[in-house]
Amino acid sequence: MRTLIKNGIVITVDPERQVHPGGFVTVEDARIAGVGPAPQTPSSAGFDEVLDAAGSVVVPGLINMHQHHWYTLFKGIADGLLLEDWVTDILLPLSLQLDAPAMRMSSWLAGMEMLATGTTCSLNHSVTTTTPELVAASIEPQAELGIRQVYAKELRCRTPGNPHHPLNLDEALAEFEHEVSRWDGRHGGLVRFGMAIESNAHWVAAGMSTEQLICRGYELAGRLGLKITTHISGGTFSLEKGFLKYLRETGRTDVRYLMQLGILDPQWILIHGIHATELDIEQMARVGCSFIYTPSSEAIRGGGISPFANAHRAGVMWRSAPMDRWSTIRSTWSSR
């Protein structure tokens, strides 16, 4: 199948940030075969499909770097709640009701919503304890839609704050590795695997994550070549249950904790970071980790404004774009 897209305003987002007014894109099967300016547009002969994109912008498919697919089922019910109250009163009770059909439906819905906006790849950060059945229910609908997904499965085990988890740490690591072998690279490369480790202060303080879990998960991710995604420095300034409460108790930020453990490096994708300090930013830039800001999420729940501009000037954001083993996610384009 050969497709020619012509006459559009082609925004390449290549290293030179070239823009081709009236330019073209050629596609062979599922891969981009050519991109160029109007004078170099090939003849329509020999193409199975020709799309006239006059008056439209042609851009690479957008990448959603932080997504919780099943949240799509419950939009609109958390209005007016700040993060901490939303987690305890809405998120946790709902998560206990999720079964495989619900997960599958939410994955379909999230995938269709993203494709409608020109988003062709997402990183799905798992926030619930999943079984092999639930992992399949999250992954398969996305693959059937043809959208790329990096599924970051949670690493959880039996801990003081999670005493009823069925697996100890050794068993959880073995199961995680099995899921990687089961899914990574499947469906023609549409599916990639990542790891979600909750290393922030309130998870550690609650006993849901432990230093051993974090460090051994990091070691496994490194051996398997996986990225690690984690929420950091989010929430409100509440002294009773927010970010400041744990900062006062521990004397360290979430970035500083990972630095103290000696494990913060380019494997890590740090999410939210509303309260990231200048020292946090300096350390992120030095080690080369990624920092993802979620402005729509913060706007809805009153989370605040992340120091995006400072991080960008420090060089952090430039490091968040290249992901070596996921470079093929840039091969899908969409016309808007």
Q: Which tokens sit at 42?
A: 């090939």
* pLDDT tens column, 290-319: 999 888 888 777 777 889 889 999 999 643
**Which pLDDT score, from 0 to 100, does residue 174 have?**
98
Nearest to 250 by CA among 206, 215, 208, 290: 206
Separation between Cα atoms, residue 246 and residue 256, nearest integer Å: 13
Q: Residue 328: its pLDDT value, please? A: 27
Measured between alpha carbons, how far is 10 from 238 in angstroms, rounded to an integer? Answer: 47
The pLDDT tens digits of the residues spanning 48-105 come to 999 999 999 999 999 999 999 999 898 888 777 777 888 888 888 888 889 999 999 9
Is the Cβ–Cβ distance between 91 and 81 less than 8 Å? Answer: no
Local structure of 130: helix, strand or coil = coil
Average pLDDT across each block of 10 residues of the chain; the chain has 336 residues. List them in order: 95 92 93 94 94 94 92 83 83 89 96 93 94 96 95 97 95 98 96 96 90 98 97 82 83 94 96 93 95 84 82 72 30 32
What's the confidence (pLDDT) of residue 282? Answer: 96
Domains of the chain, with CATH numbers?
Answer: 2-60 (2.30.40.10), 62-331 (3.20.20.140)
In 3-state terms, what secondary structure has residue 267?
A: coil
Are the CB atoms for 46 and 1 separated by under 8 Å?
Answer: no
Concatenated DSSP letters of 177-246: HHHHHHHTTTTTTTEEEEEE---SHHHHHTTSS-HHHHHHHHHHHHHHT--EEEEES-S---TTTSHHHH
Helix/strand/coil for 135: helix
Tell me, what's the pLDDT at 119? 93
- CA 331, 327, 41: angle at the middle one, nearest 5? 30
Residue with tokens 């970071």: 273
- Beta partners for 50? 4
pLDDT score at 177? 98
- The answer to whether 156 touches 172, Cβ cutoff 8 Å, is yes
